A and B are shown apart, each in its own frame.
Chain A
Amino acid sequence: MTTATPTVGAGVQPPAPLTRAARVRKRLNSRTATVVSIVLALLWTVPTFGLFVSSFRPEDQIKTTGWWTFFSDPQFTLKNYQDVLFSSGSSGQLASYFINSLAITIPSVLFPIAFASLAAYALAWINFRGRDWLYIGIFALQIVPLQMALVPLLRFFSTGVSVGGIQLLPAWDLVDEQKFAQVWFAHTCFALPFAVYLLHNFISQLPGDLMEAARVDGATHPKIFRTIVLPLITPALAAIGIFQFLWVWNDLLVALIFAGGGDETAPLTVRLAELAGTRGNEWQRLTAGAFVSIVVPLIVFLSLQRYFVRGLLAGSVKG
């Protein structure tokens, strides 16, 4: 609590100390620090920038000269993107995989957030026996690396559940695009402990008077949840939503195991990893392809960075 409170609550601080702090900091500003930090920031961006520039260069150029020659000999084309997105078969067809990524990501973000906020509310504001133990139990599940769950969960999907020869639950037997459901399920399970933990942090800090007043007015828990809690925790929902979005969109392992590798279900990451392995020298495809996969999280990230950082700080420092 000691470190993060002033930061997270920066918006509610009275303005006077802020300006004083700013004054102190301004005095400390130094030209060297500015130059060094900007140079480092640019260096940090060079690899991404090189990929970006290359993705617009013609194939023979990419393969024979470095991307920095672009500035002395600029040649620009969109053919790489056209090829990698739409040409069929082994050369890319990333448009298909892009749709898969979307189809995987949207439900995989919605389900855990909804379930986790319900659970977090119950753990914070409904009195029942064993509440604290349950919360600690869910919290502790964060330590289980998802590698621990992969083999049995895959068997759960493919053969169902049977105890002593009696089939309790049937196999899911999903084909093609139906396999999305497996991926949604897996992502939802794996996201829940962290999501419950983060949302519980926010929900438990809502003012108790508010809940009490609503209860006195005869509001039931679902009503309080819908009309009071949900609107108040929107920033937290946004933060966890961005987290989960980036996590699912960028995930390789879960998709590799539960989605399969075909163009019916596999997301961009799986396809790109495959291209990097089998066509490691086809830089015209890899550069454009990598950028296709990067662009969506980049937009989300840049436009919602504030929420993301707030969630990051709340999740990792505050506790």
Chain B
Amino acid sequence: MEFDFAAEQPKFLMLMYGLIAFVAVVGGLLLLLDVVPTWFARRREAQLVAASASGAPVPRRRKQREGVFAFFFLLPTLLLLTIGLVVPAIRTTLLSFMDARSTNWVGLDNYGWMFAEDSIFRVLINTLIWVLLVPLVASGFGLIYAVLVDRARFESVAKSLIFLPMAISFVGAAIIWKFVYAYRGDEQDQIGLLNQIVVSLGGEPKQWLLESPLNTFLLIVIMVWIQAGFAMVVLSAAIKAIPADIIEAARLDGTTPWQMFWRITMPSIRPALIVVVVTISIATLKVFDIVRTATNGNYDTNVIATEMYNQAFRYGENGQGSALAVFLFVLVLPLVIYQIRNLRKQREG
């Protein structure tokens, strides 16, 4: 019970420094941009006054320099993006062609290693399973639920409950589900919900997270549990955006709910559905926290992001870690390009 509050004080001090820095940087920038042009304007005014008093020709007004403002407004963002993203991304690409300590060039060795090594190949297969299943199941469930809830009472409460996991961290979600999958021996009472259900149906309790390949699917359940809420909210909004006239007209024509769904709902929400699937796919490709917390990538559950972390930060294999990061980037790339093109089409249309 001996929580030492005094020991925490340096943290608050540091937080305060951070906040002071924030005020100084942002406030300073705005102030600078406010004061300096005003000062120039004053000086010009004084020049004009002096010129008119002495009868000298009025100095010509210089062109307004918008570019200067733009430069200072963009300065922090561009600086940080360069240091924090652009240069590192280029360096990672270079590192992926170098050895573990980044001293010698090794060509494509790291990429060859990825596909040659059995354990890494397994990682790639797992990632493939993830990215095929999660978007499909999560969007499917989200869609069905959005359609259902549109015709239900207590809509907002039900939606909030489904959406709630979005606020929970992947780490928290992994712990919640580890508890569902918890195992105790045959003769004891089960504390995990899943084993309890299995036992009450007359089955044997299992160590779910140790059984490959089942464990990968059980981890996928966690991701689906989180992402379905996102899919549901976006799709539900799209469904609500279908004009009431169309729905009413269809009803007057005597369409069945089934026809209504396939002929009216689906075509109307198609763009939203595509966005949802692609967004979830991107998130799934990068999944890290769930696997790390639930199994730490053991028992054949590893995925690219966890393996990248292990290689680069645990085994000191910077080359191989970087190669995995680049591979991840290559996988994400077509999805994002597709997403951007889609968004632009929607914008124009």
List the interface of chain A (C-beta within 8 A of B). 1-7, 17, 20-21, 24-25, 27-30, 33-34, 36-38, 40-42, 44-48, 50-51, 54, 62-68, 82, 85-88, 93, 95-96, 99-100, 102-103, 106-107, 110-111, 114-116, 118-119, 121-123, 126-129, 131, 134, 138-145, 147-153, 156, 176-178, 180-181, 184-186, 188-190, 192-193, 196, 220-223, 225-226, 246, 249-253, 256-257, 264, 269, 272-273, 276-277, 280, 283, 286-287, 289-290, 293-294, 297-298, 300-302, 305, 309, 312-313, 316-319
Contact B81 A319 (CB under 8 A): no
Q: What residues of chain A lie closer than 8 Å to B74, measured between beta carbons?
A: 118-119, 122-123, 134
Among B228, B230, B344, B346: residue with most chain A CB under 10 A: B346
A sample of 29 cross-chain residue pairs with beta-carbon separation below 8 angstroms, ordered by A number, consists of A2-B346, A4-B237, A7-B241, A28-B251, A29-B151, A34-B153, A42-B161, A45-B161, A47-B179, A48-B168, A62-B191, A100-B11, A107-B18, A107-B19, A107-B21, A141-B81, A147-B329, A185-B84, A186-B84, A269-B289, A276-B171, A277-B296, A286-B179, A287-B179, A294-B172, A297-B169, A301-B166, A302-B160, A305-B163
- Rounded to whole Å, the gap between the CB of A148 and the closest CB of chain B is 4
Q: What residues of chain A lie closer than 8 Å to B161, measured between beta carbons?
A: 41-42, 44-45
Q: What residues of chain A lie closer than 8 Å to B347, measured between beta carbons?
A: 1, 319
Tell me whether chain A's interface is mostly helix, strand or loop, or mixed: helix
Smallest Cβ-Cβ distance to B345: which chain A residue: A319
Which of the segments B46-54, B120-128, B130-138, B320-328 contacts the partner chain? Answer: B320-328
Smallest Cβ-Cβ distance to B181: which chain A residue: A47
Interface residue from A3, A20, A50, A106 paired with B19 (Cβ < 8 Å): A106
Judged by a CB distance under 8 angstroms, whether B223 is at the interface is no
Contact pattern, B 188-220, Cβ under 8 Å of A = 1, otherwise 0: 111111001000000000000000000000000
Known contacts being A141-B81, A149-B89, is A3 close to B238, with CB within 8 Å?
yes
- Chain B: residues with Cβ within 8 Å of the partner, total of 139
- Rounded to whole Å, the gap between the CB of B96 and the closest CB of chain A is 10
Q: What residues of chain B lie closer than 8 Å to A156, measured between beta carbons?
A: 83, 88
Contact A2 B349 (CB under 8 A): yes
Judged by a CB distance under 8 angstroms, whether B143 is at the interface is no
Contact B225 A192 (CB under 8 A): no
- Rounded to whole Å, the gap between the CB of A257 and the closest CB of chain B is 6
Q: What residues of chain B lie closer than 8 Å to A103, measured between beta carbons?
A: 11-12, 14-15, 18
Q: How many A-B residue pairs have CB under 8 A?
A: 414
Question: How far is B1's CA from A87's CA once the two chains are assembled, in angstroms?
Answer: 5
Q: What residues of chain B lie closer than 8 Å to A17, measured between beta carbons?
A: 244
Q: What residues of chain A lie closer than 8 Å to B106, measured between beta carbons?
A: none
Judged by a CB distance under 8 angstroms, whether B3 is at the interface is yes
Contact A33 B81 (CB under 8 A): no
Known contacts being A86-B1, A144-B89, A222-B34, is A66 close to B193, with CB within 8 Å?
yes
- Rounded to whole Å, the gap between the CB of B269 and the closest CB of chain A is 7
- Rounded to whole Å, the gap between the CB of B177 and the closest CB of chain A is 6
Judged by a CB distance under 8 angstroms, whether B266 is at the interface is no
Residues B208-266 near A (CB distance < 8 A) = 225, 228, 230, 233-234, 237-238, 240-241, 243-244, 247-248, 251
Contact pattern, B 281-293, Cβ under 8 Å of A = 1, otherwise 0: 0000110110011
Known contacts being A294-B169, A312-B234, is A220 close to B76, with CB within 8 Å?
no
- Rounded to whole Å, the gap between the CB of B291 and the closest CB of chain A is 11
Known contacts being A44-B162, A64-B188, is A3 close to B241, with CB within 8 Å?
yes
Question: How far is B164's CA from A300's CA once the two chains are assembled, in angstroms?
Answer: 11
Known: A5-B241, A40-B145, A286-B175. 18 other contacts (CB 8 A): A4-B238, A33-B149, A114-B22, A118-B29, A119-B73, A145-B328, A177-B11, A193-B81, A220-B69, A225-B30, A226-B30, A251-B169, A256-B309, A273-B289, A290-B175, A312-B230, A317-B275, A319-B346
Q: What residues of chain B lie closer than 8 Å to A280, measured between beta carbons?
A: 178
